[in-house]
Amino acid sequence: MSQLFTRDTQAIFWNNNTTAIQRMLDYDYTIKRAKPSVAGIVAPTSNSKFDKFFYGPDEIMIPLYKNTAEAKAAQPQADALLNFASFRTAYDVTMEALEMGGFSSIMVTAEGIPERLARKMNATARAKNVTVIGPATVGAIAPGAFKIANIGGTIENIVQSKLHRAGSCGLVTRSGGLFNELSNIIAINADGIAEGVAIGGDRFVGSVFIDNLLRMQENPEVKYMLLLGEVGGTEEYKVIEAVKDGRITKPIIAWCIGTIAKYYDSGVQFGHAGASANGDMETAEAKNRAMKEVGIRVPASFNDLPEIISAVYHELHAEGIVKDIAEPSMNTCPKVRKSKEFICTISDDRGDEATYAGFPISSLATPDTGKGIGDVVSLLWFKKQYPKWATDFIETVIKTVADHGPAVSGAHNAKVTARAGKSVVESLVTGLLTIGPRFGGAIDDAAKYFKYANDNGMNPAEFLNHMKKEGVPIPGIGHRIKSLKNPDLRVEGLKKYAAKCFPATPLLDYALTVEQLTTSKKENLILNVDGTIGILMVDMWRALGYTEEEINEFITSGTLNAFFIVGRSIGFIGHVLDEKRLAMPMYRHPMDDILYDVQVAEKI
């Protein structure tokens, strides 16, 4: 793999570091990426499903997940993991991702991971051919394609350092701070960098100098390389051997900082955990001398780096190896941005024609489209285009629950309110307010309890015992009038439709085995219309490919009750209009229908 990242690379960001994520998205917008570089965020302690970020002047939503496995399953295309966990959990997060697979690179920002764990983590990554950047790193960048978190600094600094587009130099450092400084030096004295990696300051890091330089050797965009090492360690000697045996042929400029260490009587650590010499070979002076001996361009001091960079760049340019780079057009992030108060993901009225989940209304609403109310519900409620068998079933449900006569609580309320002279809206609302656990709620609960029993492998007898212990009558079972001998034709119609049109009906099949047991006790303990609707809704969603978690969320959020609300609204309105049409007077309940039991109040 000659390039770590491309313009299509997407990452999962572990820990919701909003500042770092926003910097990545500002970079994406500036370089005109087709899609944001952050596909999802692992936020274990958050109860939200997404977080909002700016993408240029507008906002986007990035989904939040509880763990890496959930994020990877939802975003399989994301092959980079940006591990911003603390040093206490960074090792576990990385090892989990390595065992999970699907990541080509993992960046670990934490410093202070115990060295024995860091060695094990790095060995596992090598065995699995995964590039680990860090620990203790600010990351890496492929200019014009992808950048990790805070590397390169602010957008203004990134553009000034020409990190918005690819240059010719491959830059590898230990230090994140000096990475930014060198990027700027290369931009001033040459044409910028083609790829850059800050490998990290801990003693044991995942990808070392030689790993990155060998990759850059294969990267056609890299024409020469700059290595910034430091006192401590022997990784620079691997580079020396690669130059000697011909594995690296591109020009290398290199410098190891820490030459001042020779003036100290005892070992001194210079900032990074790995910046301490444990022998003469690990001193900056020895490594600089050894690199120079094999032809690597080594300056007399750090201050001489700009001159050497300029010289190498102009040599390669004169030879035609480095070409002039045309500056690409860029977007400019606004200085002032305002967060939106509301979010809408189902419809859009900003264009010439409003859309339902991306579909123009005209493609759904006119008679010649062949679309019905079921199609509109599937788009506006579920943001998916359901097949015809499913939309027809939705319409059947709405028609089935539309009315059940004037005596039920909702219809009664609506009629009484209409007779008080209230409007259609006011009368409808009084009817809708009665819908809940006792009126319409059997649909929700039937789906909930039957699914729970089926998911947990309960046979009918075990299910009945479970409900008895819960102290809850089985929702969806029982009818005052209908029985095995006098079946509910609505239920029969729904069952026939499901048998003919549904790909499978596992929950209905299970419910019918429960019905066999309940009707053996009493003939009217049949599967009623509410139960049939709730159970078949679960079978429909399963057939449409929803996960069990998604179906459970539909149930708990009241989606099933919403079908009852829509359908029953048709009937309520019918009763209200009936009252208006008949010009019925104000309603007063007859006193002989009220049991009065009023006692003389006690004196206090």
CB 109 within 8 A of CB 83: yes
317: which 2 tokens? 């340019």
Report the alpha-carbon distance of residue 258 to residue 232 in Å, rounded: 9
The 139-142 sheet, strands edge to edge: 146-147, 139-142, 193-198, 169-173, 224-230, 252-257
451: which 2 tokens? 């699914």
Report the alpha-carbon distance of residue 213 to residue 291 in Å, rounded: 14
The 8-class DSSP code of residue 9 comes to -
Please name the helix (run of DSSP H) or strand (run of DSSP E) that holds residue 253, with its range, or none. strand 252-257
70: which 2 tokens? 């959930």
Following CA atoms 234, 178, 189, 160 in sequence, which dihedral angle do they give, to the nearest 10 degrees? 150
User: CA of 106: how far to CAs of 103, 124, 126, 207, 421, in Å?
Assistant: 7, 12, 12, 10, 68
339 dihedral zone (left: phi>0; alpha: psi -120 to 50; beta): beta
CB 187 within 8 A of CB 219: no
Q: Which residue among the candidates 272, 314, 412, 575 is catalytic per the annotation?
A: 272
Q: Known catalytic residue: 272?
A: yes
CB 471 within 8 A of CB 509: no
What phi and psi, each to the nearest 5 degrees, are found at residue 119?
Answer: -65, -40
599: which 2 tokens? 């006692």
Burial of 122 (0-12, 13-18, 19+ CB in 10 A): buried
Report the alpha-carbon distance of residue 113 to residue 126 in Å, rounded: 18
574: which 2 tokens? 């019918």
Single-letter amino acid code for the residue at 129: N
Among candidate residues 157, 138, 140, 139, the one with its CA nearest the CA of residue 30: 157
Report the alpha-carbon distance of residue 28 to residue 330 in Å, rounded: 10
11: which 2 tokens? 């990452």
Report the alpha-carbon distance of residue 79 to residue 34 in Å, rounded: 17
Pair type for strands 105-108 and 131-133: parallel
Neighbours of 582 (CB within 10 A): 10
CB 442 within 8 A of CB 530: yes
Single-letter amino acid code for the residue at 191: D
Single-letter amino acid code for the residue at 582: L
328: which 2 tokens? 């690409």
What phi and psi, each to the nearest 5 degrees, are found at residue 155?
Answer: -60, -40
User: SS3 of 549, please?
Assistant: helix
**Cβ within 8 Å of residue 307, ≥6 positions away:** 189, 299
The 131-133 sheet, strands edge to edge: 50-55, 58-65, 38-42, 11-14, 80-83, 105-108, 131-133
The residues annotated as belonging to the active site are 272
